[in-house]
């Protein structure tokens, strides 16, 4: 315990105190299930702590070895975990197949990749550290489904309403199952190998015994559908893998559909990539150089100091350097406090990302006010900040040894910033059309001024809005 206490002492030096105390309680008093694939958004709500502070605390806790961070590729249809790894470098496929949904999905970082935290076994041993020993229901809850599934506490009772049979089959063994098929759509499914067989049971009932064999191996075969008649079925399972499998027979009824349709918010990869603490801690340990992962919606904010060259001439190198450093420090703090992250600085310019447009606009307004405050304190207008905001799809990449972004959305955001004059904020239509952005503007009494502008490198004139 002395080693664990020492780790928590280190954590208290780097993370929010209330969040650390809540994590400490969870480690000491939480159930095994509660310490497996922790949904940080759920944790923050239950512990009544700020969610951004909680995310930062878990990131620091993971870095020092209290927790293991996991990136999990989720099926958008059923919420099952299709793949998992300690870094995003794990995800190197152009598409991911879900056997249970019989569908293929192109991976994106918005809602298909969750980030969870599991207690490190050196800190506390939990049942999920040995997943092959988990009972069927707990394996489905803790291993197969992601943290965005809103599963009921009485999950076993729900299974009783759609699961006809379930068994545990050790490695290298066979099992025989006899059951009576109802006139329903049947799913034979194993959550370990994800092997699936659909059975469309229809037609006249029969008394003749029908037969079906399912072989579990290391190769995931495409999901197939076969037709059988209502009546007796002899189902043979052959486990040719080197681990236990958990085949079960489900009726695809409304109970099943309702259960897998209930979702709750979770920590997405996109949100984590736009977190300043994550970028500060993990730096380049995110993507391989050759990886290109899609994000369907990310908001970019670019800033630049107007007349910085004149500033150096006006006040001298030393004073100007201190002012520019002060300006960077203020912007970093504002970006982080609005759940964003600074991607890079270029000269006196800043490129930052946010999960949603409203956080970017809130940051922009605060930046403008902060520069005005500094100017008032100095009795001049030396620091004039130009700001541009745009939202859209992009690629997450590694460039110049840092996690970066590429695409037309990035280019557009940079060009929009170039339109800005002193104290002005320019944003595109996707930004001002956001409902949460509209609320911020209304509360601040600001009315965006619409205009069309030619942007360098953009073929058509763009519809942009100046926020005075």
Query: pLDDT tens for residues 114-125?
Result: 999 999 999 999
The pair of three-digit structure tokens given for residue 119, joined into one six-digit string: 């207690």
pLDDT for residue 289: 76
For 329-351, what is each residue's pLDDT tens digit? 999 999 999 999 999 998 889 99
pLDDT for residue 322: 78
pLDDT for residue 141: 97
What is the pLDDT averaged over residues 263-272? 96
- Alpha-carbon distance 186 to 193, whole Å? 18
pLDDT for residue 290: 79
Q: Give just the sign of the alpha carbon dihedral 203, 207, 208, 214.
A: positive
The pair of three-digit structure tokens given for residue 460, joined into one six-digit string: 């058509």
What does the mean pLDDT of the chain come to?
Answer: 92
Output the CA–CA distances (angstroms, integers) from residue 340 to 186, 364, 372, 416, in the order listed: 46, 11, 22, 19
**Higher per-residue pLDDT: 419 or 171:** 171
pLDDT for residue 37: 98
Q: Give just the sign of the alpha carbon dihedral 266, 270, 274, 280.
A: positive
Q: Which residue has the tokens 């109970």?
A: 255
The pair of three-digit structure tokens given for residue 362, joined into one six-digit string: 């809130």
pLDDT for residue 285: 66
pLDDT at 1 over 70: no
For 360-391, what is each residue's pLDDT tens digit? 999 999 999 999 998 888 777 777 899 999 99
pLDDT for residue 467: 94
Confidence band (pLDDT; 50, 70, 90) for 420?
confident
For 136-158, what is each residue's pLDDT tens digit? 999 999 999 999 999 999 999 99
pLDDT for residue 405: 95
For 193-227, what is each residue's pLDDT tens digit? 999 999 999 999 999 999 999 999 977 766 789 99
pLDDT at 81 over 70: yes
Pairing between β-strand 163-166 and β-strand 196-201 as defined by DSSP bridges: unpaired
pLDDT for residue 284: 63
For 284-328, what is each residue's pLDDT tens digit? 667 887 788 999 999 999 999 876 666 666 767 777 777 788 889
pLDDT for residue 459: 65
């Amino acid at each position: 315990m002395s080693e664990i206490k020492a780790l928590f002492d280190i954590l208290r030096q780097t993370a929010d105190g209330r969040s650390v105390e809540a994590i400490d309680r969870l480690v000491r008093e939480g159930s095994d299930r509660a310490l497996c694939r922790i949904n940080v958004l759920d944790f923050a709500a239950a512990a009544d702590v700020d969610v951004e502070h909680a995310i930062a605390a878990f990131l620091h806790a993971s870095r020092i070895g209290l927790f293991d961070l996991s990136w999990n590729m989720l099926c958008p249809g059923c919420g099952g975990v299709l793949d998992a790894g300690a870094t995003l470098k794990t995800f190197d496929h152009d598409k991911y197949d879900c056997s249970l949904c019989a569908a293929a999905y192109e991976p994106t970082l918005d809602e298909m990749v969750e980030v969870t935290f599991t207690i490190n076994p050196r800190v506390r041993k939990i049942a999920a550290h040995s997943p092959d020993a988990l009972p069927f229901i707990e394996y489905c809850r803790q291993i197969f489904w992601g943290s965005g599934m809103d599963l009921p506490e009485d999950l076993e009772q729900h299974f009783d309403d759609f699961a006809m049979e379930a068994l545990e089959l050790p490695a290298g063994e066979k099992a025989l199952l006899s059951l009576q098929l109802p006139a329903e759509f049947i799913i034979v499914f194993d959550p370990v190998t994800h092997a699936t067989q659909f059975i469309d049971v229809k037609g006249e009932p029969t008394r003749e015994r029908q037969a079906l064999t399912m072989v579990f191996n290391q190769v995931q075969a495409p999901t197939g559908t076969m037709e059988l008649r209502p009546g007796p079925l002899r189902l043979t399972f052959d486990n040719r893998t080197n681990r236990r499998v958990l085949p079960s027979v489900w009726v695809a009824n409304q109970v099943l559909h309702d259960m897998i349709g209930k979702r709750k918010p979770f920590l997405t990869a996109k949100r984590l990539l736009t977190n300043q603490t994550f970028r500060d801690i993990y730096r380049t340990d995110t993507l391989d150089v050759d990886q290109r992962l899609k994000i369907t919606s990310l908001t970019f904010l670019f800033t630049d100091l107007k007349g910085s060259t004149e500033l150096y001439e006006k006040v001298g190198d030393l004073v100007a350097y201190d002012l520019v450093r002060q300006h960077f420090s203020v912007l970093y703090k504002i970006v982080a406090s609005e759940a964003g992250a600074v991607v890079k600085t270029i000269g006196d310019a800043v490129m930052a990302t946010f999960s949603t447009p409203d956080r970017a606009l809130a940051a922009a307004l605060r930046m403008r006010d902060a520069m005005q405050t500094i100017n008032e304190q100095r009795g001049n207008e030396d620091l004039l900040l130009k700001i541009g905001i745009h939202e859209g799809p992009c690629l997450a990449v590694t460039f110049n040894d840092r996690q970066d972004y590429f695409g037309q959305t990035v280019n557009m955001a940079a060009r929009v910033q170039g339109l800005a004059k002193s104290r002005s904020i320019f944003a595109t239509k996707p930004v001002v059309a956001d409902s949460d952005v509209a609320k911020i503007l209304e509360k601040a009494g600001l009315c965006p001024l619409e205009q069309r502008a030619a942007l360098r490198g953009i073929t058509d004139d763009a519809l942009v809005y100046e926020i005075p």
